[in-house]
Amino acid sequence: MADLEETLVPLVRTTLSEVLQAESLVTEAMRDLVRDEIKAYMRAKLDEDPALKQEIKDALEMYLESRAKEMIASIRMAKAGTKISFAMLPENLKEEVKAEVLKMFESEIAEFLERM
């Protein structure tokens, strides 16, 4: 009986796992099909109403601009934070910390530019 359980249980687990993976794949494909149908329907409605299409474009442009401004504000806050941090450092450590920060930023900027 123990031999049967040792053989049967892993077989059932494997089979069940394969069935669930196949079901997951079908569910995911169905979701993609529904998503595509919704996109097609929305595009058709937007093509019918150029004013609405323009409104969405304007809103998207405004949204992207606001995200860019948010990024600029974050950079300025980081800059101000760095300045206050440097102001609080003892004089004998300022040059050492400055060199380390510059080295870090140089490598980060180089990596960023390589990715572009």
The Cα 65–Cα 71 span in angstroms is: 10
The answer to whether 53 and 47 have CB atoms below 8 angstroms apart is yes
pTM exceeds 0.85: no
- Residue found by looking up tokens 């123990």 in the block: 2
* Residue 80 reports pLDDT greater than 90: yes
Position 20 scores a pLDDT of 65
- 89 CB neighbour count, 10 Å cutoff: 13
Would you call 90 helix, strand, or coil by DSSP?
Answer: coil
The answer to whether 69 and 75 have CB atoms below 8 angstroms apart is no
Position 116 scores a pLDDT of 80
